[in-house]
Amino acid sequence: MSFQNKVVIVTGASSGIGAATAIAYAKEGADVVLMGRIYLLVNNAGIIGIATVMGENTMEEFDKIMNTNLRAVVHLINLAAKYLIQTKGNIVNIFSMTGRAVVERVSAYMTSKAGLDHYNRGAAKEFAKFGVRVNVVTPGPMTTDIHETIPADVKPPTIKPLPLNRSSESEVETRKK
C-alpha cells in the first residue's frame, strides 16, 4: 500500500520496533514528521522496568512506566483527534503479550499494556462514528534495547512458550546499545 503524501507519526522511532516502523512507512512514500495533516498515529514509545510489590522504588517506577506507556498515548490521541477525524485516519497502539500474561516483577509494564488494550477499545468505539480506526498491534518478543533495562532472567518466561524458543529481530538494525 502506498503512503505517498500521507503524514505518519511514530512515537519512539529512535530505535527498535519504532525505528523499523518509521523507515518502512518512509519507504512507502509517507512524510514521517510531526506537521501537516495527520493520517496515522503509531503509539510505539515504551519502557519496561522492575516494580515489585515490596520494592523500594516501586511507586516511582510504576508512575514512570504508566506515564510513558499509557498516559502519553492518551495525551497524544487527545491532541491528534481532530486532525485524524479530518483525514478519517488511523491509530495503531503497540501492545504486548504481557498485557494478557503474567511475568514476575514486571507487573507495572503488564498493567500499562493491559490498560492500553482496554483504552484502545474505548477509543475505537468513540472514533468509529468519525471513520477513524483504532487498533493494537502485538509484536512477539523481539531483541531490542528495551530488554537492556531489566535483568536477563526476566526474559525467558515470555520466550519459553514460543515454538522456536527465541526472540525475533527487527527488519533493520536499529539497536543503539
> Can 109 be counted among the known catalytic residues?
yes
Return d(Cα 97, Cα 140) in angstroms, integer. Answer: 7
Q: Which is nearer to ligand NAP, 46 or 89 (CB)?
A: 46
- Hey, what's the cell of 159? 520466550
Residues that bind ligand NAP (CB under 6 A): 11-18, 44-47, 68, 94, 96, 139, 141-142, 144-146
Map residue 33 onto helix, strand or coil: coil
In angstroms, what is the minimal distance from the CB of 88 to ligand NAP? 25
CA angle at 93 for the pair 52 and 34, rounded to the nearest 5°: 115
Q: Which is nearer to ligand NAP, 129 or 177 (CB)?
A: 177
Q: Which is nearer to ligand NAP, 88 or 176 (CB)?
A: 176
Provide the residue type at 134 as one letter.
V
In angstroms, what is the minimal distance from the CB of 153 to ligand NAP? 16
For 175, the enclosing helix (H) or strand (E) is none
Looking at the annotation, which residues are catalytic?
Answer: 109
